[in-house]
Chain A
Amino acid sequence: MAAPKAYELRTKNKAELTKQLEELKQELASLKVQKVAGGSAGKLTKISAVRKSIARVMTVITQTQRAQLRLFYQKKNFLPLDLRVKKTRAIRRRLTKHEASVKTVKQQKKDIHFPLRKYAVKA
């Protein structure tokens, strides 16, 4: 199998990916048993490769899942909390750019009629 590549995994569908995940997990289990029974050096180095492959498959699964969910929630009013923007708690509670820039009509008129003038002194 020579360690699946991420871009190859993305072409697969959910069922195939879960099946591949199962196979990788079984391989990992057997490798761990062989480690206990005194496996060869080749087997032992393979363990890390298999662990990373499992991580790769899980990453692809969750990435595609979340992308699909965002599509699903695009038209809706409320997003689930883990799909919302994370940033920091304080930043999420700030006024939005639009909310901060809103001016009263009175202020707008003042700005138009009495803008800040810039002067220069002729040399």
Chain B
Amino acid sequence: MTKAAPSDKNKALAAKKAALKGVNGQKARKIRTSTTFNRPKTLKLARSPKYARKSVPHVPRLDQYKVLKTPLNTESAMKKIEENNTLVFIVDVKSNKRQIKDALKKMYDVTALKVNTLIRPDGNKKAYIKLTADVDALDVANKIGFI
């Protein structure tokens, strides 16, 4: 069968095929080896906003000045200073022990060994801050100025 310039016979055969099988062609069927159907992975675009929702991000709201409010110099607090080498502070309710430790370091350059916190009935947070053995809580309290 010559194929030079689609002859009438070729045209007729092509027409027959188109009529019987349709012109869309066959897609190969995917072989499924598992009975589970998993969601196919689709494209996940990263965000590229046209404008920032907030013009400028806020400065950190809980800085060291906000964390440590005031030291306590009640009788029981003084006892803690002398006997247990700990300072007692009223701190912000939203602060956690790590933030209290960092704030103390930044404000008074003292390292805390451990911090215990409780929330007083009047709503404030009290922090018992045990200092490392190489510093004396009494000296630090004098330096801070609340003795």
Using a CB–CB cutoff of 8 Å, the interface residues on chain A facing chain B are: 25-26, 28-30, 32-37, 65-66, 69, 73, 76-83
Contact = CB atoms under 8 A, between A and B. Distances in A.
A32 B69 contact: yes
Contacts of A79: 51
Interface of B: 50-56, 63, 65, 68-73, 107, 144-147
Q: Does more than half of chain B's interface fall in helix, strand or loop, or is it mixed?
A: loop
A25 B54 contact: no
A34 B51 contact: no
A82 B55 contact: yes
Contact of A25 (B65, B70, B72, B147): B65
A32 B55 contact: no
B56 to A, nearest CB: 6
A34 B145 CA distance: 7
B55 A83 contact: yes
A33 B71 contact: yes
B55 A66 contact: yes
Pairs A-B, 4 closest by C-beta atoms: A78-B51, A80-B55, A37-B146, A25-B65
Given A25-B65, A29-B107, A32-B70, A37 B54 contact: no
Contacts of A83: 55
Contacts of A66: 55
Given A65-B56, A79-B51, A80-B55, A29 B146 contact: no
Contacts of A30: 145
A75 to B, nearest CB: 13
